[in-house]
Structure 1
Amino acid sequence: MIKLIVGLGNPGRQYEKTRHNAGFLFVDALAQDCGSTFTQSPRFFGDLAECKVGSAKLLLLKPATFMNRSGQSVGALLKYYKLQPDQLLVVHDELDFNPGVVKLKKDGGHAGHNGLRDIIAHVGTKDFYRLRLGIGRPPAGKVVADFVLSSPSRQEADLLDAAIKTGLGFVPQLVAGEIDTVMNKINT
């Protein structure tokens, strides 16, 4: 059962609507749905919110350490609350999926995603869940870093919003521990 959802992104107004902040957009939408607000938490190097899903308490985290150092924030929170990696869901942008595609997986490498790389290093395992929100690949000749740190087109933003809504619809089942059911539905 999921007890912590971490949205990956970069802090600062200049990054708010970029492709790389898909994870922040997800947890922001979830907090809004729950009627929760994020507060700065220096202890966890990020912004933290608590959300009630059914009868369960769910923690939401937005690391304020920038993408490449997300593990510092995630590791500190897992240790403090004595959570296991398999109770963690990391929501992040995914280059390998077209905009609008959303998939859930457990385990696996970082596939070049520096946020995931740092979380794996700090947590000491890759045995956690990932909700991957498709942003597509940059056009030929465009640098990946420039692409992920830029805003999507209106059409791509609409598709990302749809993917976020799809993912949000599965949160109650994830919190209830129905992860295999969610994987079967969302990945087909």
Structure 2
Amino acid sequence: MKLLVGLGNPGREYEKTWHNLGFEVAQLFGKQVGVTDFKLKKKLKALVADATINEEKIILTLPQTFMNKSGESVRQLISFYKITLTDLWVIHDEIDLEVGSIKISTNVSGAGHRGVQSIIDAVGGQTFTRFRIGIRSERQGQIPTEDFVLQKYDRKTIEPIIKKTAAAIQTALTDGLAKAQNQFH
């Protein structure tokens, strides 16, 4: 079983912002594998759906705790579903990567990403896999990072990377992380 966590902020005002790319990828991936609806699980502080790929159960989640407190939800999810950190996959925006790029990493620090650091702190380790979606651009350097990540992005620019990241997740699940890393970096 895998726990796939798309990071973002709940609420319409955060839709289509850089910081919500994790939500968008998880929702698109869910749609591609037949998920019709995410259900709110209040005790888990998340919207949750499940799917099966190659006879492996996949729990798709969208924490509803706001980005910087994502660890609260992820800790509850790991405990409830009895997930090991190696079966935790987190999808999020990454200011250290160029727009349009993705990087699949395992066992790396939060690197200043507060949502990821919240997860590391809450679960007591960083040995999980991250699908990091690049958002760095010239525009980002002109305003504080905390303001930039909450700005709306241009759909035409980012839609291909949302699809690419969903494809990378599918490849990782069907053919392994190494193949996905080789194919999508």
CA deviation digits over 1:15-63, x for unaligned, max 9?
0110000000001111211221100001210100112223221100100
> Residues 172 and 140 of structure 1: is their aligned pair in 2 closer, same or farther, counting only changes over 3 Å?
closer
Residue of structure 1 in register with 2:23 after alignment: 24
Where does the alignment leave 5 or more consecutive residues of structure 2 unmatched? Answer: none
Q: Kindly state the Cα deviation for residue 177 of structure 1 after the two structures are TM-superposed.
A: 6.3
1:12 has 2:21 as partner: no
Percentage identity across paired residues of the two chains: 34
> Residues 182 and 150 of structure 1: is their aligned pair in 2 closer, same or farther, counting only changes over 3 Å?
same
Q: Could you state the TM-score of these two structures normalised by the residue count of structure 1? A: 0.91
Match of 1:166 among 153, 164, 167: 164
Where does the alignment leave 5 or more consecutive residues of structure 1 unmatched? Answer: none
Question: Alpha carbon RMSD of aligned pairs, Å?
Answer: 1.5
Report the Cα distance in structure 2 between the residues aligned to 1:9 and 1:34, rounded to whole angstroms.
21
How many equivalent residue pairs? 183
Report the Cα distance in structure 2 between the residues aligned to 1:79 and 1:20, rounded to whole angstroms.
26
1:135–1:160 Cα contact (<8 Å) kept:
no
> Residues 55 and 95 of structure 1: is their aligned pair in 2 closer, same or farther, counting only changes over 3 Å?
same
Report the Cα distance in structure 1 between the residues aligned to 2:20 and 2:167, rounded to whole angstroms.
20
1:58–1:175 Cα contact (<8 Å) kept:
no
Letter in 2 for 1:77: L
CA deviation digits over 1:94-127, x for unaligned, max 9?
1112211111010111111110010000110011
> Residues 139 and 75 of structure 1: is their aligned pair in 2 closer, same or farther, counting only changes over 3 Å?
closer
Q: Could you state the TM-score of these two structures normalised by the residue count of structure 2? A: 0.92
Which runs of 4 or more aligned residues in structure 1 lie more than 4 Å from their structure 2 counterparts after TM superposition? none
**Which structure has the highest strand share of the two?**
2
1:6–1:91 Cα contact (<8 Å) kept:
yes
Q: Kindly state the Cα deviation for residue 162 of structure 1 after the two structures are TM-superposed.
A: 1.1
Q: Kindly state the Cα deviation for residue 139 of structure 1 after the two structures are TM-superposed.
A: 4.0
1:136 has 2:136 as partner: yes
Residue of structure 2 in register with 1:112 after alignment: 112
Report the Cα distance in structure 2 between the residues aligned to 1:64 and 1:47, rounded to whole angstroms.
7
Letter in 1 for 2:122: H
Q: Kindly state the Cα deviation for residue 160 of structure 1 after the two structures are TM-superposed.
A: 2.2
Residue of structure 2 in register with 1:88 after alignment: 88
1:3 has 2:2 as partner: yes
